[in-house]
Amino acid sequence: MTYDINIVILAALTANRMGDVVMTQRTPVTVAYGDGIGPEIMEATLNILSAAGAAVELETIEIGEKVYLRGVETGMEPGAWDSLRRTKVFLKAPITTPQGGGYKSLNVTARKALGLYANVRPAVAYHPFVRTRHPGMDVVVVRENEEDLYAGIEHRQTDQVVQCLKLITRPGSEKVVRYAFEYARVNDRKKVTCLVKDNIMKLTDGLFHRVFDEIAAEYPDIAHETFIVDIGAAKLADTPEKFDVVVLPNLYGDVLSDVLAQIAGSVGLAGSANIGASCAMFEAIHGSAPRLAGQNLANPSGLLLAAVMMLVHIGQCDVAATVHNAFLKTIEDGVHTPDIYREGTSRQKVGTREFAAAVVDRLGQAPEVLRPVAYKAARPMSLWRGDAPHRKAHKELVGVDVFLDWEPGSPQDLGRALSMVVAAPLRLRVITNRGVKVWPDGLPETFCTDHWRCRFLAEDGQAVHPADVVELLRRVTEAGFDNIKTENLYRFDGVAGFSAVHG
Ligand code: NAD
């Protein structure tokens, strides 16, 4: 094992810079300084936390570029995982992922391995002190963090076609949606908005929407609404001040949270929390900005605000509010790093270290124009009621979609040939190409690839036996077809658990 754990005591037992007696019980936190600007912004952040009297005990781990280049494909040594599993709290600076293939995203690995199901990203405008087109903006994105297209299950199936599996689960949706409502309640937020595309993805996004409606009913004190993600995203970008908390599946959340951070003012200003049932990870939303590294130019605010979220998470709400208000006062006083410095608005252009010193000087002060913050000592952890009694739906097998790699002719040729494959009670009902019906009665204009979905159902809609499907597949293969995958078709409590055919 090649890494060391440094124990650094940040909080003294006696008094902090403001003369208050600080907490004696220190919470262990795993810290990674990362790459590029990471070490500078981490040092600035920890200096501020120390001066504010944060009661944390730091274990430093090494992650990122050097670890990748030592041949560890996840960018993190096994011992570092031990630290995380022990402390369960991770303050992480950005890392550089080396160019070239083979390196796994450390963030994706950490999110999945530690079960960090909710990614929380506030996007706040600091008008009139930081330039923005949306002065009233104060949106919190709660993004599902573990599933959706990010399950990373992809296959090449034919010469022409690749696929990526979109997985939406009931427990995954329940966890993140409940977190969003609890977050809203704890933080005095008034509304939760859900964005989905369930007019097209009726089963996957439909489930997320249904879970949202079910859980929203348990929070009558909080308003709720749902938009289709395309128009919802347009409204968010146009009038973000009309939104409060937004909860959405992984991919939409990934895209929209960056858009919101950018239109709020600067990616350098936004922090994020990755919350799980037992662990949590806090980081700036930006990357390691290698070109700024080592020049005392980087804005440490994103990591600092992530650290504020961490302090709230570990129950040190007063320290969190002290740091956050000192940060707001610094921004309000026009003490700005170059990324947000504007002639006429800003007063003093400072480097990373000087910005941190300015925040430390203002500990104990509150902003006068920007709204001061206060945090309640409640944290919405372990909210998933996955162990609650759950009635399993009655599941019946009613057919199978057989996917073929087939090129030689027209859809009519395929329909004719495949209709000859008789395996009662299953019968060929429809063939689609890229989801569009091409047999029977397809349109000659429909573009076809070498990837065909052939749906077999029983004559009268009755349930079938798994052996019937096995027999069908045997005959399909025997007839010379290249069967590349199958999807069983089920009814759950009498309702079809598969999408209807378009066209
Ligand atoms: P980036 O976020 O590092 O930089 C984008 C732009 O924003 C650059 O112009 C940069 O100078 C500026 N910027 C970013 N943070 C800033 C700050 N704190 N202060 C002032 N300006 C700031 O994105 P990139 O250039 O696409 O990526 C650089 C590296 O970071 C890549 O190796 C990428 O893989 C990695 N990355 C890591 C994380 C993470 O660790 N969470 C996230 C994103 C990217």
Instruction: Please say if the pLDDT value at position 61 is more than 60.
Output: yes
Instruction: Please say if the pLDDT value at position 11 is more than 50.
Output: no
The string of pLDDT tens digits covering residues 238-288 is 999 999 999 999 999 999 998 999 899 877 899 999 999 889 999 999 999
Ligand 1 touching residue 79 (CB < 6 A)? no
In the chain the domains, ranked by start, together with CATH numbers, are 11-361 (3.40.718.10), 395-496 (3.30.70.1570)
pLDDT at position 384 is: 54
pLDDT at position 100 is: 74
Largest Cα separation within the chain, whole Å, is 87
How many CA atoms within 13 Å lie on the side-chain side of 161?
Answer: 19
Q: Could you tell me the pLDDT band of residue 3, with boundaries at 50, 70 and 90? A: very low
Give the residue whose CA is nearest to atom 36 of ligand 1.
287
Instruction: Please say if the pLDDT value at position 338 is more than 60.
Output: yes
The string of pLDDT tens digits covering residues 72-115 is 888 998 889 999 999 999 999 999 988 877 788 888 888 888 89
Instruction: Please say if the pLDDT value at position 12 is more than 50.
Output: no
Closest CA to 323 of 292, 363, 295: 363
Cα 268 to ligand 1 centroid, rounded to whole Å = 9
Cα–Cα distances in Å, from 246 out to 136, 334, 378? 16, 30, 20
Cα–Cα distances in Å, from 86 out to 82, 89, 278, 478? 6, 9, 10, 56
- Residue 15, phi then psi, degrees to nearest 5: -140, 150
Please, what sign has the CA dihedral across residues 235, 236, 239, 245?
positive
DSSP state of 320: H
Tokens of 494: 């009498």
Cα 429 to ligand 1 centroid, rounded to whole Å = 52
Instruction: Please say if the pLDDT value at position 420 is more than 80.
Output: yes
The string of pLDDT tens digits covering residues 213-249 is 999 999 999 999 999 999 999 999 999 999 999 999 9
Ligand 1 touching residue 293 (CB < 6 A)? no
Burial label, 429 (beta-carbon count in 10 A; 0-12, 13-18, 19+): middle
Cα 418 to ligand 1 centroid, rounded to whole Å = 53
Closest CA to 46 of 360, 361, 377, 362: 360
* Angstrom distance (rounded) from CA 412 to CA 439: 6
Ligand 1 touching residue 283 (CB < 6 A)? yes
- Residue 354, phi then psi, degrees to nearest 5: -70, -35
Give the residue whose CA is nearest to atom 6 of ligand 1.
289
Closest CA to 274 of 116, 83, 107: 116
* Angstrom distance (rounded) from CA 34 to CA 377: 30
Ligand 1 touching residue 105 (CB < 6 A)? no
Cα 43 to ligand 1 centroid, rounded to whole Å = 17
Q: Could you tell me the pLDDT band of residue 176, with boundaries at 50, 70 and 90? A: very high
3-state secondary structure 404-466: EECCCCCHHHHHHHHHCCCECCEEEEEEEECCEEEECCCCCCCCCCCEEEEEEEECCCCCCCH
Cis peptide, bond prior to residue 425, ω within 30 of zero: yes
Instruction: Please say if the pLDDT value at position 17 is more than 60.
Output: no
Cβ within 8 Å of residue 258, ≥6 positions away: 267, 285
What stretch of H or E contains 401?
strand 395-405
3-state secondary structure 80-117: HHHHHHHHCEEEECCCCCCCCCCCCCHHHHHHHHCCEE
Q: What's the chain's Rg over C-alpha atoms? A: 27
DSSP state of 129: T
pLDDT at position 389 is: 64
**Substitution candidate for ligand 1 out of 288, 296, 349 with most atoms within 8 A of CB:** 288
Cα 292 to ligand 1 centroid, rounded to whole Å = 9
* Angstrom distance (rounded) from CA 6 to CA 254: 33
128 within 8 A of 344, measured Cβ to Cβ: no
Ligand 1 touching residue 40 (CB < 6 A)? no
Tokens of 354: 């000087």
Q: Could you tell me the pLDDT band of residue 385, with boundaries at 50, 70 and 90? A: low
Cα 468 to ligand 1 centroid, rounded to whole Å = 55
Cα 95 to ligand 1 centroid, rounded to whole Å = 9
Residues above pLDDT 90, as percent of the chain: 78
**Substitution candidate for ligand 1 out of 96, 267, 303 with most atoms within 8 A of CB:** 267
Cα–Cα distances in Å, from 376 out to 109, 134, 373, 410? 31, 27, 10, 66
* Angstrom distance (rounded) from CA 59 to CA 10: 11
